[in-house]
Chain A
């Protein structure tokens, strides 16, 4: 029974199909983009519609440093994946850990900002429409960063155990796609919340 399934008589040379991991991640990114679009639309729609304060110009500060951290982590993960594909395991691990550090720094920045907003300005998710839309949009993004970090950490642990090699390079590229997406979303969120929204 197993003998017959292994014969590929005409497995035509040149019959190439895209990698399922990448296609699936692209599908997930399309779906996630639609979710983020709805939250961004809600944020823009409710700009200036809060009945009570505080308002965005009063309390928001542009997180330039942490934004640079997150965006540069896209570069580090890109080169990490490249290094792995070329079989330079040491450089891969280093860049990978750097990516995690940069992502972690970004999350720390968000945490600090939220702490300041909650304890200094009394802005919570139920304070006004600004609070509701701000925390859900930025929170949804932060949630995606967190999920990404968990996956990156898993790879890091496996990598430290020596389980990540050239063979896994395809999987790592799929993960990198997700991380790039999370960064791209931040560009949109940053523009909407900190540039247009103020």
Chain B
């Protein structure tokens, strides 16, 4: 059952040539392979986006630095932001969802395997389009190459007059294409969860990871599509002479901001909710306790999803909205803190009184809890519009959202990598390298992003390519850059761990963490068909029931 190779006596099965193997990967419609493809493509873009971050940091290392020109600097921060959000964070989370959701609900595959493959290739093509702009972006004008107007591409910067050539076209098209991919995947996740659950897996018994991915997919449908619509409008402006965002013809630059942030803010929650999902699986297993407050966790997630749809204009306090709008968006933004706080208390409640095992996935989870809390606190500070007027567009904001994305999302993701890598490959990741990775990354992260708040408070604006000496920013920026390199080193340790453990890691077996969800009931890596017999579920922790028939969870539900 654990092997999917059929041995026929008298024949020798030979290793397939690599071209065959590659062909199988490219044409695959298997949710596990597509999940891994998503994750690999995200790692590729993570490396590229990371190099761009390092270029930005080297340039800002000290005042009046000439490492790159201002034009290149603009391209770097635009590409860094776009890459990390759309081609690292989204694909890697979709990858995990793809891999885990069918396994956790006892299904054979996603609801629409071919749509799944199509969505992956769309999102990957989007990434390639974005980077093709380095070659094709200058068009006939010889003006600029890669997009350089920031990842928001605020009007009128995205208009023909201010983005000549094709750089903004590649940006628009890549986001449009990958956006369609995201919509396809979201529909697929929803259909899979609602229609393919194994017998007994009632909605109220689904693992929290499945629940939270359902909420995330629902948000993708409502939040990614406004971006697609806005990109279509931008294309109409750029190619058909439309006037949506053309202020000289009565169009409005502010409308673009609204459309962008109606997408942009829920997007943050689209990224963080799957990370909440990882936490809700990892923390109970390493605390040896079931999750504390399952229904409240689900309720809080749905609540976050709703409230997060009405907070977008807190990105726009400085454009001069009226006081009603400012108050409304201040209040809604602060309100998001309530369900988020409930979640943090629930994770702590799960750990409370548990036999906590400090394995690498748990270390990253605890790091996530602390850092996400701090990120949330600076978020509450920024939610207050007068405070935001002072610090909007400063390095304080940059520090805040990197605290969310790196300190929160990336830490949770690393936890997920260490937790599920054994399931995906059949090998354990090295604990020793894992601890090196964790501590190096933790030190680098805090060195960079704790310190980064201070130049923000001192008035350093974001997106400047250099600054005057004597403002008290030099030492701080130097420390930030050192931290960035320590993080890069930690990422190298991580990548080395992924590669080395694939060949030399200890065998994982079916269930290395003594966990409770269905994916651990089958071999690692799982056979192509996932489950030899369709499992039947009677509680939220089916594997606990199997291992403890004398005291099953189902008795208490």
Q: How large is the interface on A (under 10, 10 to 19, 20 to 34, 35 or more residues)?
A: 35 or more
Stretch at the interface among A45-53, A54-62, A188-196: A45-53
Which chain B positions have C-beta within 8 A of A11?
199, 534
Q: Are A20 and B191 in contact (CB under 8 A)?
A: yes
Q: Are B188 and A24 in contact (CB under 8 A)?
A: yes
Closest CB of chain B to A46's CB: distance in Å?
A: 7
The answer to whether residues A20 and B536 also contact, given A27-B190, A39-B229 and a CB cut-off of 8 A, is: no
The answer to whether residues A128 and B225 also contact, given A24-B190, A46-B251 and a CB cut-off of 8 A, is: no
Q: Are A132 and B244 in contact (CB under 8 A)?
A: yes
Q: Is B161 an interface residue (CB 8 A)?
A: no
B146-190: which have CB < 8 Å to A?
183, 186-188, 190
The answer to whether residues A20 and B226 also contact, given A31-B187, A128-B249 and a CB cut-off of 8 A, is: no
In chain B, what residue has the closest Cβ to A52? Answer: B249
In chain B, what residue has the closest Cβ to A9? Answer: B533
Q: Is B495 an interface residue (CB 8 A)?
A: no
In chain B, what residue has the closest Cβ to A2? Answer: B529
Which chain B positions have C-beta within 8 A of A35?
225-226, 228-229
For A42, give its contact among B111, B224, B255 (CB under 8 Å): B255
In chain B, what residue has the closest Cβ to A5? Answer: B529
A96-143: which have CB < 8 Å to B?
125-126, 128-129, 132-133, 136, 140
Closest CB of chain A to B197's CB: distance in Å?
A: 6
Which chain A positions have C-beta within 8 A of B217?
27
Q: Please report the C-alpha to C-alpha distance between residue A64 and residue B442 in the assembled complex, in whole angstroms.
A: 66
Q: Are B241 and A125 in contact (CB under 8 A)?
A: yes
Q: Are B243 and A4 in contact (CB under 8 A)?
A: no
Q: Are A15 and B250 in contact (CB under 8 A)?
A: no
Q: Is A8 an interface residue (CB 8 A)?
A: yes
Kindly supply a per-residue 1/0 record for chain A positions 1-45, scoring 1 wherever the CB is within 8 Å of any chain B CB and 0 otherwise.
Answer: 100110111111001011110011001101110110111001001
Q: Are B536 and A12 in contact (CB under 8 A)?
A: yes
Q: Is B1 an interface residue (CB 8 A)?
A: yes
The answer to whether residues A24 and B187 also contact, given A17-B195, A46-B251 and a CB cut-off of 8 A, is: yes
Kindly supply a per-residue 1/0 record for chain B positions 451-474, scoring 1 wherever the CB is within 8 Å of any chain A CB and 0 otherwise.
Answer: 000000000000000000000000
Q: Please report the C-alpha to C-alpha distance between residue A18 and residue B233 in the assembled complex, in whole angstroms.
A: 36
Which chain B positions have C-beta within 8 A of A51?
249-250
A68-120: which have CB < 8 Å to B?
none
> Which interface residue of A27, A32, A136 has the most chain B CB atoms within 10 A?
A27
Q: Are B195 and A20 in contact (CB under 8 A)?
A: yes
Closest CB of chain A to B213's CB: distance in Å?
A: 14
Q: Is B443 an interface residue (CB 8 A)?
A: no
Which chain A positions have C-beta within 8 A of B341?
none
Q: List 9 A-B contacts (CB under 8 A).
A: A1-B6, A10-B199, A17-B196, A27-B221, A42-B233, A45-B255, A50-B250, A126-B240, A128-B250
A residues sitting closer than 8 Å to B (CB atoms) are 1, 4-5, 7-12, 15, 17-20, 23-24, 27-28, 30-32, 34-35, 37-39, 42, 45-46, 49-51, 125-126, 128-129, 132-133, 136, 140
